[in-house]
Amino acid sequence: MKALIKLSGLLLIFFSACNTFRQESYSLTEKIDSLFATVPDYSGVLLIADKGKPIYHKGFGYLNFETKVPLDTTSLFELASVSKQFTAMVLMMLQEEGKIQYDDLIEKYLPGLPYPGITIRHLLNHTSGLPDYQQIMDEHWDKSKVASNEDIIAYLIQYHPEKLAEPGEKYEYSNTGYVLLASIAEKTSGKDFVEFCDERIFKPLNMMSTAIRSLSEKAAISNFALGHMYVKEKQRYIRADSFPSSNYTIWLGNRKGPGRVSSIASDLLKWDRALYTESLVKKETLSQAFAPAKLNNDSISNYGFGWDIQLSPELGHVVRHSGSNPGYKTHIIRYIDIDKTVIMFSNNDHEKFEVLLNTIEGWLPESKTP
């Protein structure tokens, strides 16, 4: 009897070990495929690269939930606030060229703004204390018109909303700051911001599907993934642009700096690869983008120039950024020390976006290529 019990125990351990081995031997592709199978209504694209080589790149869902046209890995998405890293790069280029200095006061370039003591560096790392321009525009702007940076600046001057903090006092995410950065870039470069990004970043990196597009330009692209939101009353996904009065991407459609870049995942991988080189700016310049900011009280804020910064015991130096527009969620993560990249898009603002992303991140340290 004792021998039989001992044998049963050994068999249990053996089969348990076999099961564990099978789970651990699953490729990353199998794991992720199984994960997305649990959320069949997810719509978007996921790209994972190891040292620049895609090891997972798939699309899910639809360009348009009404027509059921499927999307694929070449579909274009709104990047939303992931766009801020391109704005920051423009300012880094201008700094290298001697056209700006990070500690210049913004009134040097944008006179009339009623917020003294703010520098370009404060704008880049979200420590300016500026109020939210979108709130003022929402209250006062005629939404039958499309607002530009000049309109936003004029309304900040006219209505003078109260600042949120003193410059350098604390981190406070600010779309307003990145609007001002784009306007400063135009004034100091003598170039339209859209043209500058195209000529100095997108074309040199062969990011041929990436641009800052107008509403009409996006509408003309057949494989543009339209943003959708789930409407409980109708039990289905509805196009986000079906609600124009509440869709700021329409009536703020000419703003530059905080968003509006649209792209494909493989283009963002080209961007990722360029950031390991000096093809755009020197490494010394770029290092500031990935370094934390120091506040007035000498404490640290973990936001650089267009990037959130974190240090992971397993993954080392990690820089990342998320984005959100009506109907869209986006994220790019660069694991600099181990040279892995995760790019994830959704065009149905899926409620499990963060859960999926966090799960995938947890698999990266021991991930196996397909």
> If DSSP codes are grouped into helix, strand and coil, which group holds residue 100?
coil
Per-domain boundaries in the chain:
29-363
Q: Tell me the β-bridge partners of 331.
A: 322, 344
Sign of the Cα pseudo-torsion (72, 263, 275, 198, in order):
positive
| Positions marked active-site | 81
Q: Tell me the β-bridge partners of 123.
A: none
d(CA 187, CA 201) in angstroms, rounded, equals: 18
d(CA 127, CA 303) in angstroms, rounded, equals: 9
CATH fit for domain 29-363, picks 3.30.70.20, 3.90.78.10, 3.40.710.10, 3.20.20.140: 3.40.710.10
Residue 116, Cβ neighbours under 10 Å: how many?
A: 10
Least Cα distance to 67 among 215, 223, 214 occurs for: 223
Contact 154, 145 (CB under 8 A): no
Contact 140, 155 (CB under 8 A): yes
Contact 130, 163 (CB under 8 A): yes
Least Cα distance to 350 among 254, 229, 235, 250 occurs for: 229
Q: Which residues contact 288 (CB under 8 A, 6 or more apart)?
A: 92, 102, 304, 305
Average pLDDT, 10 consecutive residues per value, the chain (370 residues): 42 39 64 96 97 97 96 97 98 98 97 96 98 93 92 96 96 98 98 98 98 93 95 90 73 91 98 98 95 96 97 88 95 96 97 96 68
Q: How far is CA 346 from CA 211, 220, 328, in A?
A: 19, 20, 5
Amino acid identity, position 24: E
Least Cα distance to 327 among 30, 78, 10, 6 occurs for: 78
Contact 249, 303 (CB under 8 A): no
Least Cα distance to 299 among 170, 142, 121, 211 occurs for: 170
**How many Å is the maximal CA-CA distance in the chain?**
92
d(CA 194, CA 234) in angstroms, rounded, equals: 38
